[in-house]
Amino acid sequence: MVESALEFLRICEDENFTNIVISMKSSNPQVMVEAYRLLSKKLQEEKLNPYPLHLGVTEAGEGEDGRTKSAMGIGTLLEDGLGDTVRVSLTEDPEFEIPVARTLVDRYNNRSETASFIEPIDVLPIDPYSYSRRITAEVENFGGKNVPRVIADYSQIDISEPADLQPIGHFYLPATDKWAMNDLGADYIYSGARPVPFMLPNGLKEIIDYTTWNTLKDQSRTYPLLTKEEYLITILNGSVLQATHFIKLQISDCEGDILNYLQEDPYAILVIETKNTHAMAELRRLFFKLAQHRIHLPVVTQWTQHSDSVDQTTLYAATDCGGLLVDGLGDGLLIKQTDSADHHKNNAKFLNSLAFGILQAARTRMSKTEYISCPSCGRTLFDLQDTTARIRQRTDHLKGIKIGIMGCIVNGPGEMADADYGYVGMGVNKIALYRGQEVVKRSVPADRALDELIELMREDGVWKEPEAVLE
């Protein structure tokens, strides 16, 4: 994609035509981010004009997923200082796109006045032009080859009964006296100073503040979270923890003796956070500092919700956390509730879903079906929003499958390039069905197209009947 753009730019400059804005859109945020970065580098290397960049994640989809993917691509590049115009592409009515775009760009209105200084770096320990996950030790089920883990924040929520865990995907079934878990079941729960008063299911473990954890009679299946000061005191007192423990750090904590101790600690998992308004850049700098000091411990990114606005929380979390994940940085997410929020369990459900959505958009952990759907235009000859909703209703249990839903064959097949299956309009009430990039059925009547798409999945052995939904 970059080389193709450069080829045309060279031709244009040879003809002295420079009235150009460049767009390198992709439906995959990771590909999009790498392409724009590489293009910017090549423009400098070849001494081409520094053309304005138009940012967008094409065919991002709808709802929370569409906003998450858009923010991960657009927001990451804006954090890098790249981008002059933006387009948010949602499978929704067009008037819903502009507020999302404005929320993304307005974040930078006063950034230079509010952001704290971040120490520059001479040599990058990562390749910003291609994905490679940070190599870490495996501690418990963090790091190594494990998928990133999701930690649900219940530190400000009272937990009294098993039903309180339903918002984070864990369900107690009294009839069988067993627990069940859906595809968005959190891996850990952070209870802070409020330990859970009953036995948790096997698929959920508990993280507790160190001072509270120290008072527990039964510490099995629980893990302490220490501040830097608490961690250093345990070492100085000779009471080094010989089991898995979490350590909360900011970049200002990563100085002096603690770096040497972390190099020698095989049981630590780091939980990093920042109060810098330039959050993603400072967290990334912290990862670089760990690399410089050869600290290969797993790292959980903690991000705190600062607004009750669902859209703002979605967009900012996807930018700050997703911008790290597309560079292979991070082994888990902990999205904390805002101090001012009404700490009810609906907010916990939203933040848990958002964490899984960010991991999915970064392609680091697939927990649900992914839809690559266009925003519709005059070429679309069917109701794209209604069709997308019907396809989602029948297929949203197919974890890890990517389905492209495109209004027409002009751009559709190219823009759903990494989809496993495609549903593409090709005329009035006529649909083409794709397996990958191959058309397998043409001119299928629209009223039968969804059934035939499902039949195609059956033939490929990827279809499974939906189970009872746990909510």
pLDDT 10s digits, 344-359: 777 899 999 999 999 9
Does the pLDDT at position 362 exceed 90? yes
Q: Is 80 exceeded by the pLDDT of residue 153? A: yes
Query: What is the pLDDT at residue 471?
Result: 61
For the stretch 183-228, pLDDT in tens is 999 999 999 999 999 999 999 999 999 999 999 999 988 999 999 9
pLDDT, position 40: 96
3-state secondary structure of 345: helix
Does 56 have pLDDT greater than 90? yes
Question: How far apart, in Å, are the Cα atoms of 380 and each of 300, 383, 412, 425, 452?
Answer: 43, 8, 11, 7, 20
Q: DSSP letter for 203, please.
A: T
Write down the domain spans for the chain: 2-109, 149-361, 370-460
CATH match of 149-361 with 2.40.160: no
Asked whether the predicted pLDDT for residue 340 surpasses 70, the reply is no
150 in Cβ contact with 440 (< 8 Å) = no
| 149-361 shares the fold of 2-109 | yes
Q: Please, what CATH class does the domain formed by 370-460 belong to? A: alpha beta
**Predicted pLDDT of residue 93:** 87
On the 0-12 / 13-18 / 19+ scale of CB atoms within 10 A, 366 is middle
Residue 303 belongs to what H/E stretch?
strand 299-304
Which CATH number does the domain 2-109 belong to among 3.60.21.10, 2.60.120.620, 1.20.1250.20, 3.20.20.20? 3.20.20.20
**Pairing assessment for the beta strands 402-406 and 370-373 based on DSSP bridges:** parallel
Mean pLDDT of the chain: 92
Q: What is the model's pLDDT at position 279?
A: 96
pTM value > 0.85: yes
Query: How confident is the model at residue 343, as a pLDDT?
Result: 57
Mean pLDDT to the nearest integer, 317-337: 97
| Cβ proximity of 207 and 194 under 8 Å | no
